[in-house]
Chains A and B, each alone.
Chain A
Amino acid sequence: MSRAKPATDPLIALLQSKLPESIVVADPVSMKPYECDGLSGYRQMPRVVVLPQSVEQVQAVMKICQETSTPIVPRGAGTSLSGGAMPHKDGVVLSVARLNRILHIDAQNRTATLQPGVRNLQISDAVQHLDLYYAPDPSSQIACTIGGNVAENAGGVHCLKYGLTVHNILQVKMVGLDGELVTFGSTALDTPGYDLLALMMGSEGMLGMIVEVVVRLLTRPRVARVLMAAFDDIEKAGNAVAGVIAAGVIPAGFEMMDQAAIQAAEDFVKAGYPTDAAAILLCELDGTEEEVITQIGKAETLLASAGATEISLAGNESERARFWSGRKNAFPAMGRISPDYYCMDGTIPRKELGNVLTRISRLSEKYGLRVANVFHAGDGNLHPLILYDANQPGEFDKAEEFGGEILDLCVAVGGTITGEHGVGVEKIDRMCVQFDRASLAQFQAVRDAFDPDGLLNPDKAVPTLARCAEFNAMHVHHGELPHPELERF
């Protein structure tokens, strides 16, 4: 894979002298796939890509980078939607692609020890025979890696009931910039000292390179059934979500699709969605047979009283799969109706769902760009998809501006600029809207504690105060406070 060019670059020469030739990739053709991640609007060719096959090789690369002051960009499968794995022009992309072995499965304690490049879905596949699974299920789960999941604190459809990555990880081994291996967490439920394991979750590659992860496995629920409820009004659907959860029913997954998304998905996979509905909800309940029957009954009553125009229960496993197929294929379905789409990711209090969706559709008119909503309604985690055409000059900029306004709106109603996709390069300026100066400086101080030289995934996730000053000077806040008041989040 690596056709080592005679290294005129001293860094590449140094890496090649210390590491097997096959793991140092430096020719432009082989490096091309690393130029971007899932956020393809942002591109940068790396200086060199290294694909370590052992922890020792990771340690060697980290040491070389520290000695030569070279930026390091850790990379899982490159499915990030926020540019978290976008290369640095002077830096090394450190990929976990070849650290992809399942090291150990402990059936009794229900844990799995994994190298960071093990794919999310691969975990559940490997323990299926034990009737176990790994719960967090980001939509990229076929491809995304557990190392990337930890770095982003990945979510998914089922985190409403089963938690985020942070709730399902017991231990992480990390190689620091100094090349030292350190273990956070353990197979016990807590460890002495600070909970640095929790700090690793969503740390976006700024603290070190993850080289091993121990995940918690759950017993597969006996039964899972899904309800589909249609609404003639999107606000009613939003309120129905809040109502069901408020009544104490916690679905395993609770997803919403708006009219545009329903139509596109229906055209694509024929999921049996009512195309005349303003919104549909997919509400999955799991547990024992008896439990699910009672919960389904409760949920049906609640959805009906919230104004559902139609409620259907998937009668069997194939119908359940069909109901979900529309949701799971919603993104590719969008790809069929628009040359490009820009996926946003804000979280808001559930009670604001109706209000925010209405305001997004007004913004859609303002920008003249279509928008479709497919999202984790139960968590209040929005994914507005802004449809645009990158070949039309200025359309991407317009889409970005539209997206930015949506994120400002999320913050204004008490939410956040990112629920599960991370800040990366994409939302770094929006951090200045969500956090005040002291908090941003505190984040920077924590970053410095792990990486005094500023080499780990630089220029991402945490903005410098100077950057914020520049952004705030240019950014119009639509009459809203740029910073939350002290007592509010």
Chain B
Amino acid sequence: MANLANDIASRVQTAYQANTPLNITGAGTKSFLGRISTDATALDVKGHSGIIEYDPAELVLVARAGTLLREITNLLADNQQILGFEPPFVDSGATLGGAIASGLAGPARAYAGSVRDFILGAGFVNGKGEIITAGGKVMKNVAGFDLFRPMAGSMGTLGVLLKTAIRTVPRPEAKLSLIQEEKDEVSALEKINHWTCKTQAISGATWDGQAIRIRLSGSAAGIQHGRAQIGGEILTDETYWQDLNNLKLKFFEQKGRLWRISVAAMSGPVGENSPQLIDWGGAQRWLKCDEPAETVRLRAARMGGHATCFSDDPSVPTFQPLEGNLLALNKRFKAALDPSGILNPGRLHPEL
């Protein structure tokens, strides 16, 4: 646990002056995501760790980027609180910085919000080696651009995160998971969507071709109400939601590339006869298939969504390519933060 902010800033500054690309590394639990530039120098930020501030009554935690998520979730658990965005790979040693940079959120995403929704502020080193602060540690703050939010999902290409202020969430009083048989995709999506309107307690909803699984969290009364609306059996597999989040369910072991398709929840089928696991009540769909990447991506794009390849396959770009003026603006935004393009070049998109 140390404050290495100045050290990291000066290393980035040196790299900026020498125009040396950097590969920011933490615990490496998401090294399969995105293309890591082979000629980049490693910038290990794991050592910049430690919880700086935590007052349970404020529901705010400020920690350095190298802090292990496990350390954070343990401390929160001692105070009956949780991280609302449910980052994956906590037990594999993932860090806070990596959780923010990858922007991956767990089963509650569709109901509780995304990684960026829980960030209140961040300190980071820009591509010139300067320490920048955006946002703060209070619930509402509209001073300055919210540069901390686009950090989520930027794969370290906008800045080296130093610290983040996170809004924490009281641990739900109760939890209950339900399972009910359903073999039809359209009917499964319709049921889930219907229940989502009937109860605020849903915090996870999947369909795997055989059954719908629903997780309820909230007050005991809220859960009782939700259960009455939904019905079904109690799901006894206690690690289901965690295994889903960590990509450890049997589903993920099947043959074929793993695709994550992001579409509006009530969109039609995204795959043709390929094994599919619908998450986030329909908004996130895991697909196992060896169809050409372009085919998968075109289909997702036609539905207003996009596809991310979660398999470490050098022949397939991880993220859906950007085009036109959106690409141009992405490049200009990147250049505003990292003018020489030395921070994780190409990790997110070849052009960024």
Question: CB within 8 Å of B: which residues of A?
Answer: 108-111, 131, 152-153, 155, 159-160, 163-164, 166-167, 176, 180-184, 186-196, 198-199, 201-203, 219, 221, 242-243, 245-248, 250, 287-288, 290-291, 293-295, 347-351, 376, 379-381, 414-423, 427, 431, 434-436, 438-443, 445-450, 461-462, 484, 486-487, 489
Contact = CB atoms under 8 A, between A and B. Distances in A.
Query: Which residue of B5, B110, B308, B332 has the most chain A CB atoms within 10 A of its CB atom?
Result: B332
Contacts of A131: 197
B306 A188 contact: yes
A198 B100 CA distance: 14
B136 A415 contact: yes
A295 B326 contact: no
Contact of B262 (A188, A198, A441): A188
Contacts of A423: 142-144
Nearest to A221: B200
B3 A439 contact: no
Contacts of A164: 140
A489 B136 contact: yes
B170 A416 contact: no
B142 A152 contact: yes
Contacts of B3: 487
A165 to B, nearest CB: 10
A111 B196 CA distance: 14
A198 B130 contact: no
Nearest to B283: A189
B140 A379 contact: yes
Interface string B247-273: 000000000000000111110000000
B136 A449 contact: no
Query: Which residue of B56, B145, B320 has the most chain A CB atoms within 10 A of its CB atom?
Result: B145
Nearest to A376: B140
Contact of A194 (B56, B154, B262): B154
A487 B65 CA distance: 12
Interface string B158-176: 1000010100001101000
B116 A195 contact: yes
A416 B57 CA distance: 19
Contact of B325 (A182, A294, A351, A439): A182
Nearest to A190: B262
Interface size class of B (residues with CB under 8 A): 35 or more
B263 A188 contact: yes
Interface in B180-236: 193, 196-200, 218-222, 224-225
Contact of A193 (B126, B143, B146, B349): B349
Contacts of A489: 62, 121, 123, 133, 135-137, 165
Contacts of B58: 242, 246, 349-351
B140 A248 contact: no
A290 B336 contact: no
Interface in B311-342: 319-322, 325-327, 329-330, 332-337
A194 B147 contact: no
A310 B322 CA distance: 59
Nearest to A132: B197
Nearest to B224: A290
Contacts of B133: 435-436, 439, 484, 489
B285 to A, nearest CB: 10
A159 B140 contact: yes
Given A195-B116, A288-B199, A448-B336, A246 B56 contact: yes
Given A189-B109, A219-B197, A431-B144, A445 B336 contact: yes
Nearest to A483: B133
A155 B136 contact: no
A109 B280 CA distance: 13
B146 A202 contact: yes
A180 B325 contact: yes
Given A414-B136, A435-B144, A450 B116 contact: no
Contact of A287 (B222, B284, B335): B222
B134 interface: yes
Interface in B270-295: 280, 283-284
29 contacts: A109-B265, A153-B142, A183-B326, A186-B264, A186-B306, A189-B262, A190-B153, A192-B306, A193-B319, A195-B116, A195-B149, A195-B153, A198-B150, A203-B145, A219-B196, A219-B200, A250-B170, A287-B219, A290-B222, A294-B219, A349-B58, A381-B140, A414-B137, A414-B138, A416-B140, A418-B142, A419-B139, A442-B147, A442-B337
Contact of B330 (A155, A196, A203, A245): A196
A44 to B, nearest CB: 22
Contacts of B143: 416-418, 423, 427, 431, 434-435
B131 A438 contact: yes
A419 B55 contact: no
B284 A189 contact: yes
